[in-house]
């Protein structure tokens, strides 16, 4: 994967961090995008210690001007992989979920991947085997209570991924939704303290699947991809 370049959102922790480590370990130059610069720099240092290469670029995926700044920084080159991993979730009843919470979940989980993909398309089109991997959720395929607003956004991301996959076929860009079950991440730990970690999907397993998807031969793709724990 020499000379391959990946942009990873939400790269400061959890699944995004694991994906960054996996891709860098395979020789991909990774661009770490996320809101918290200190976390991104820590990941970059970890990658450098393993002889990998990484660039830190703080951004909020809900802010179009910040995404445009990333494009401007990379405009003279290309990218081969866009991993839309930034996200947020909420465990809350329908009655208790505010309009503001719905707007936030929409902005991070659905609008963000759309804006990132749209902005970076010119750079993806320069690749001879480009991939957009949208990190979704098992909730887009299986219904659960108390996560209605989150489920709506991740189901929207599933639809977005399918439509993008069809629209970008002429550009030879594969778009795949990778939908993990509950993952062993800091976000999950904060939302569900005391959860049995043996029931959760390790972020490294998700990262391995991302690598499998971006390594597919040119012209080959896979549709919605669900990854869960065997209980």
**Residue 7 backbone phi and psi in degrees, to 5:** -105, 130
User: In sequence order, which residues have a C-beta less than 8 Å from that of residue 219 and are 6 or more positions away?
Assistant: 172
Domains and CATH numbers, the chain: 5-227 (3.40.50.720)
Lowest-confidence segment of 81-85, 108-112, 183-187 by average pLDDT: 183-187
pLDDT at 228 > cutoff 90: no
CA angle 109, 193, 136 (to 5 degrees): 20
Mean pLDDT of the chain: 92
* 29 part of the active site: no
- The radius of gyration of the chain from alpha carbons, rounded to an integer in Å, stands at 17
Model confidence band, residue 115 (pLDDT cutoffs 50, 70, 90): very high
Q: According to the model, what pLDDT value does residue 198 have?
A: 60
Of the candidates 7, 18, 118, the one whose C-alpha atom is nearest the C-alpha of residue 73 is 7
Which pLDDT tens digit goes with each residue over 119-159?
Answer: 999 999 999 999 999 999 988 888 889 999 999 999 999 99
**Would you call 104 exposed, middle or buried from its count of C-beta atoms within 10 A (0-12, 13-18, 19+)?**
middle
CA distances from 123 to 25, 71, 74, 117 (A): 23, 8, 8, 10
- Residues of 117-144 as b/e, b for ≥16 C-beta within 10 angstroms? bebbbebbeebebbbbbbbbbbbbbeee
pLDDT at 95 > cutoff 80: yes
The torsion angle over the Cα atoms of residues 176, 177, 178 and 182, rounded to 10 degrees, is 180
- Which runs of E-coded beta strand occur in 155-195? 174-180
What long-range pairs does 99-102 form, CB within 8 A, spacing at least 24? 101/149, 102/149
Of the candidates 179, 180, 173, 177, the one whose C-alpha atom is nearest the C-alpha of residue 216 is 173
The pTM for the full model equals 0.93
Q: According to the model, what pLDDT value does residue 230 have?
A: 74
3-state class (DSSP) for residue 166:
helix
């Amino acid at each position: 994967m020499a000379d391959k370049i990946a942009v990873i959102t939400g790269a400061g922790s959890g699944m995004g961090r694991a994906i960054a480590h996996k891709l860098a370990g395979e020789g991909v130059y990774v661009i770490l995008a996320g809101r918290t610069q200190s976390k991104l720099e820590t990941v970059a240092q970890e990658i450098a210690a393993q002889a990998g290469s990484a660039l830190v670029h703080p951004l909020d995926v809900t802010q179009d001007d910040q995404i445009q700044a990333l494009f401007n920084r990379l405009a003279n080159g290309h990218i081969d992989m866009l991993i839309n991993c930034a996200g947020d979730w909420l465990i809350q009843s329908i009655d208790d979920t505010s309009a503001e919470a719905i707007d936030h979940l929409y902005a991070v989980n659905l609008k963000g991947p759309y804006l990132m993909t749209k902005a970076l398309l010119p750079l993806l089109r320069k690749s001879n085997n480009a991939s957009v991997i949208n990190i979704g959720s098992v909730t887009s395929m299986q219904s659960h209570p108390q996560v209605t607003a989150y489920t709506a956004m991740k189901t929207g991301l599933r639809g977005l991924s399918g439509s993008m996959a069809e629209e970008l076929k002429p550009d030879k860009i594969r778009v795949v939704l990778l939908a993990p079950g509950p993952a062993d991440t800091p976000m999950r730990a904060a939302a569900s303290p005391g959860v049995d970690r043996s029931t959760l999907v390790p972020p490294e397993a998700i990262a391995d699947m991302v690598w499998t998807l971006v390594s597919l031969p040119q012209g080959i793709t896979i549709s919605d991809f669900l990854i869960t724990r065997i209980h």
